[in-house]
Amino acid sequence: MLGMARHTYVLADAFTREKLAGNPCAVVLDADALDAGTMQRIAREMNLSETAFVVSSRRADIGVRYFTPVHEMPLAGHPTIATAHVLREAGRLHDGTSTFEMPAGIVPVECGEIDGSPGYTMTQPAPAFLRSYDRAAIAAGLSLNPADLDPTLEPRTVSTGAPMLMVALASRAALDRASPDRAALFADPQRDFISVHVFVRDDDRPYAFLARHFSPPGDVPEDPVTGSACGAMAAYAWSRAVVERRAFVVRQGLHVGRPGDVYVDLLGARDAIAGVRVGGHAVTVARGELLL
């Protein structure tokens, strides 16, 4: 044990008010002494969809780095919500807006209330609408038929800081049946997306959309609740007038037994979206030390 470095971490569930629901994230505090390779190995050890590392920043109030088990993310939603929650509990963030520096840039993060409970909201950058994909090929990669995909929205990569393929489905039944062949879905080395987000319009009581999120081989197969993807999805759906209201709730995680709610609010005009506010709740589940 002599000379062993100790690093405190907190396990928090994001996008939920209930423990053991939503999306779990390990938040490693005071991680300046860890290099990127060690962070990646810790994320692989945690084996969660993402692990957050709090580092120093000269440009923002807080510096953060987010790693899946196989790569670093430029921007991510649920680790931001979890990190804000952990830092608020530790007295290092207070009500109001702070700035987080991550590889995608400087992101405003607000600590306040959502639906009467302590909540956290990040403002993601304006969306970039990138490459479109063949409907039949994407359907096959999801073990679906082309008719299971929404005929009005082509599969398309959208990024609010992290590029993800948006796939609108035609029914709740198709959402339930989706079973990705990940080797096929992520086979193209020239693809411009990190992961795949499938969603279907709900009835607004109380959710506007239901969603699922599939990660590439090596990562957690189905990410329970994804803030960055829901932000990009909201921008895509609103830009195409799939939903009229600019603020609504997305439910995700039902298919892996970890339901969570993502609150989104579109900024700017429908044809010139300036950003996406993505928010939710979080709860602390565990605290521990890494002994390295």
CATH code, domain carrying 70: 3.10.310.10
Buried b (16+ CB within 10 A) or exposed e, 80-108: bbbbbbbbbeeeebeeeebebbbebeebb
In a domain? residue 222: yes
Three-state DSSP state, 267: strand
3-state per-residue secondary structure call for 68-129: CCCCEECCCCHHHHHHHHHHHHCCCCCCEEEEEEECCEEEEEEEEEECCEEEEEEEECCCEE
* 88 and 148 co-located in one domain: no
In a domain? residue 123: no
In a domain? residue 241: yes
In a domain? residue 194: yes
Out of 50, 101, 110, 222, pick the active-site residue: 50
Residues with Cβ within 8 Å of 58's Cβ and at least 6 positions away in sequence, in order, are: none
In a domain? residue 122: no
* 164 and 143 co-located in one domain: yes
* 150 and 109 co-located in one domain: no
* 287 and 275 co-located in one domain: no
Note if 45 is an active site residue. no
* 185 and 100 co-located in one domain: no
How many domains, the chain? 2
In a domain? residue 1: no
Q: Which class for 132: exposed (0-12), middle (13-18), buried (19 or more C-beta within 10 A)?
A: middle
Give the DSSP H or E segment for 177: helix 172-177
Is 160:180 a contact under the CB 8 Å cutoff? Answer: no
Cα–Cα nearest to 281, from 113, 122, 123, 160: 113
Three-state DSSP state, 217: coil
Low-confidence ranges of the chain (pLDDT < 50): none
* 187 and 54 co-located in one domain: no
What is the pLDDT at residue 2?
Answer: 55
- Structural domain including 218 reads 128-280
**DSSP letter at 258?**
-
* 77 and 97 co-located in one domain: yes
Is 220:48 a contact under the CB 8 Å cutoff? Answer: yes
What is the pLDDT at residue 3?
Answer: 62
* 149 and 85 co-located in one domain: no
Number of Cβ within a 10 Å radius of residue 254: 16
**What are the contacts of 211-214 at 24+ separation with CB within 8 A?**
211/175, 211/250, 211/251, 211/252, 212/175, 212/178, 212/252, 212/255, 213/164, 213/252, 214/142, 214/178, 214/180, 214/182, 214/185
Backbone angles phi, psi at 23, to 5 degrees: -120, 120
Cα–Cα nearest to 41, from 53, 32, 29: 53
Compute the distance between CA of residue 216 and CA of residue 141 in angstroms, rounded to an integer: 12
* 62 and 79 co-located in one domain: yes
Residue linked to tokens 């629901």: 21
* 96 and 206 co-located in one domain: no
Cα–Cα nearest to 232, from 137, 150, 85, 130: 130
Please report which residue ranges of 4-48 form alpha helices under DSSP H.
Answer: 36-46
Q: Copy the structure tokens of residue 40.
A: 């990646």
Residue 128, strand partner residues: 159
Is 52:65 a contact under the CB 8 Å cutoff? Answer: yes
* 110 and 137 co-located in one domain: no
What is the pLDDT at residue 203?
Answer: 87
Per-residue model confidence as pLDDT tens digits over 259-284: 999 999 999 999 999 999 999 999 99
* 112 and 133 co-located in one domain: no
Q: Please tell me whether the peptide bond between 206 and the residue prior to it is cis, using omega within 30 degrees of 0.
A: yes
